[in-house]
Structure 1
Amino acid sequence: MKLLIKVLNWGDRHHPMWLDFFRIALGLVLIWKGVSFALNLSAFTSLMMNAGLGTAVFISLIAHLIMGLHLIGGLFIAIGSHTRTFCLLNLPVLLGAVFFVNLSPNIFSPYAEFWLSCSVMLALLCFLIEGDGKLSVEHERKIA
């Protein structure tokens, strides 16, 4: 526990300004993926048509959870409020995307989603350690 507190305090003290712009970009990417996920629910609809009732309900809940985490988490990460919490909440979704969804034979194709998912997952891990930064709502609240 002491090691975790030390890591979090180190992240708060050593946070360069350019990393804040990277955090904002990460939040916008998560919002973009949440919107594109919501607009492409036909894949989940076809999965639910071929499944039983319990499985269909589970698939629907997972789809709504992913959309909500990406949209709300992306917004909060972009504005810099509760960044570590929403990074932690989005990590399981990205782990699932990296290891179960996007790991396919065409992984080295130029437009593979695998690389975007890996990059976003690494950025989430980075901001789980680094935290909000100076261009954030949390920093303004600490000053006031």
Structure 2
Amino acid sequence: MPSIKLPATIENLDRMLEFVVNGVNHFEIATENSLKKLRLVCEEMLTNIIDYSYPKQTGEVKIIYKVVTEEKKVIIKIIDHGVPFNPVEYKKPNLSASIEERDIGGLGIHIAKRIVDQMKYQRNEEQNVLTIVKFIN
């Protein structure tokens, strides 16, 4: 499975996103719309790692993807050694509250979870492992 490991910095975000989107696009199973959704989900998850996972130093993030062409499915693993954080259990924002009453944050994770078909989190050997599954239409 193709993988990339880079310092978790905002300067590397575009490179990380291009790695996934261009890699998936190479298989020619994804529509432009599904690639945009995949990019949005990865951007949200990676930005959270960049902003919060390594509060005292710059760490690394590893991205692995697998395209299952016969099932039209993409599996992405995002791995970091930062602060434990499970976006799957992150509380859903109160969307009925006014903007002034809402807590800050969480909307991007909520949107990402709605876009993908499956999101799984594990904490293994001091690392966060986020697995995202998206069926391509």
Bigger relative CO (Cα 8 Å, ≥ 6 apart): 1
Q: Which structure carries more helix by proportion? A: 1
What TM-score, normalized by structure 1, do the two folds share?
0.31
What TM-score, normalized by structure 2, do the two folds share?
0.32
